[in-house]
């Protein structure tokens, strides 16, 4: 079961550092000045973080809303192809772990056999990720013919735009893991849960499934520490050629 994180650790560390540097200063004029300086720094931090968060959220709402409307014809065609192949459900619903360990329902266009989850345990020995809790298999026999195409082009992930619209995900952020993976995370691995998960991220545009788990965590933590609106736009632009080439998509 996912460990639920309940505090923004980076903000707590910053506040602790400011208090250590400036202290309460007592009741002297110099002490008052130090407290005012501390208050101003904390206030500036809250304004900067809040403004960036609001801008990111507004961008997510506008982008996901427009994309969902524009992609409706594609969704319709994909749904027909999936249904005609084996008569199974069009969407695959799965529990994923979001920010601070909160679980949410995560939809994808179904790209595998209906009983894919049941068959997974029998294939664990063939996992191409030799280290870490993630499962990736380049020639996964559970993937359907339609599934191979939509996975190659990342079309199977597009229903998650709904999660972005309602705030459970963002356009850019670490990919949300499944609970069984998070259950074996180390404390260091859990740092990737400090930000809202997204549709695309640094390792998604750098090789996707070819990136080993440890490197994925490293890149996700790098994003959490250096995220900005402009960096998000950069990753979105990098996502386009990454999808078209299909590198690491399996």
Mean pLDDT, the chain, integer = 81
117-158 pLDDT, tens per residue?
A: 777 767 765 666 666 667 666 778 888 999 999 998 999 999
- The stretch 217-243 carries a mean pLDDT of 88
Residue 12 within a domain: no
In Å, what is the CA distance from 190 to each residue of 74, 116, 142, 179? 36, 27, 29, 12
Q: Is residue 64 part of a domain?
A: no
User: In angstroms, rounded to a whole number, what is the distance separating the alpha carbons of residues 171 and 103?
Assistant: 18
- The rounded Cα 60 to chain-centroid distance in angstroms is 13
End-to-end CA gap in the chain: 27
Task: Determine, yes or no, domain membership for 10.
Answer: no
pLDDT of residue 71: 97
Residue 57 lies in a domain: no
What does the alpha-carbon distance between residue 220 and residue 56 come to, in Å, rounded to a whole number?
17
Phi and psi dihedrals of 91, rounded to 5?
-105, 145
Q: What is the pLDDT of residue 80?
A: 97
Distance in angstroms (rounded) separating the CA atoms of residues 241 and 244: 5
Say how far apart CA 162 and CA 166 lie, in whole Å. Answer: 6
196-214 average pLDDT score: 86
Q: Is residue 88 part of a domain?
A: yes
Helical pair 72-86 and 29-70, crossing angle rounded to 10 deg: 60
Kindly state the DSSP code that residue 114 receives in the 8-state scheme.
T
Does residue 94 lie in a domain region? Answer: yes
Q: Is residue 17 part of a domain?
A: no
Q: Are the beta carbons of 250 and 209 closer than 8 angstroms?
A: yes
d(CA 32, CA 38): 10
Residue ranges making up the domain that contains 102: 71-245
Q: Is residue 19 part of a domain?
A: no
The tally of domains found in the chain comes to 1
Render pLDDT for 57-102 as a digit per residue (tens, 0 to 9): 999 999 999 999 999 999 999 999 999 999 999 999 999 999 988 9
């Amino acid at each position: 079961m996912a460990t639920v994180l309940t505090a923004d650790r980076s903000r707590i560390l910053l506040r602790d550092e400011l208090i250590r540097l400036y202290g309460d200063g007592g009741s002297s004029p110099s002490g008052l000045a130090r407290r005012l300086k501390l208050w101003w720094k904390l206030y500036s931090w809250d304004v900067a973080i809040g403004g960036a968060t609001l801008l990111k959220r507004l961008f997510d709402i506008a982008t996901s809303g427009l994309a969902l409307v524009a992609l409706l014809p594609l969704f319709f065609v994909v749904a027909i192809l999936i249904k005609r192949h084996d008569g199974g459900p069009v969407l695959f619903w799965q529990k994923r772990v979001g920010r601070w360990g909160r679980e949410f329902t995560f939809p994808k266009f179904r790209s595998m056999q209906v009983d894919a989850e049941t068959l997974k345990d029998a294939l664990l020995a063939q996992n191409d990720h030799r280290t870490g809790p993630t499962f990736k298999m380049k020639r996964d026999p559970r993937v359907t013919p339609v599934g191979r195409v939509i996975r190659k082009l990342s079309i199977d992930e597009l229903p998650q735009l709904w999660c972005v619209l309602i705030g459970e995900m963002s356009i850019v952020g670490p990919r949300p893991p499944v609970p069984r993976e998070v259950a074996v995370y180390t404390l260091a691995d859990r740092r990737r849960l400090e930000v809202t998960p997204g549709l695309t991220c640094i390792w998604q545009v750098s090789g996707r499934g070819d990136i080993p788990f440890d490197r994925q965590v490293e890149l996700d933590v790098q994003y959490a520490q250096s995220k900005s609106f402009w960096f998000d736009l950069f990753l979105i632009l990098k996502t386009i050629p990454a999808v078209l080439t299909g590198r690491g998509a399996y």
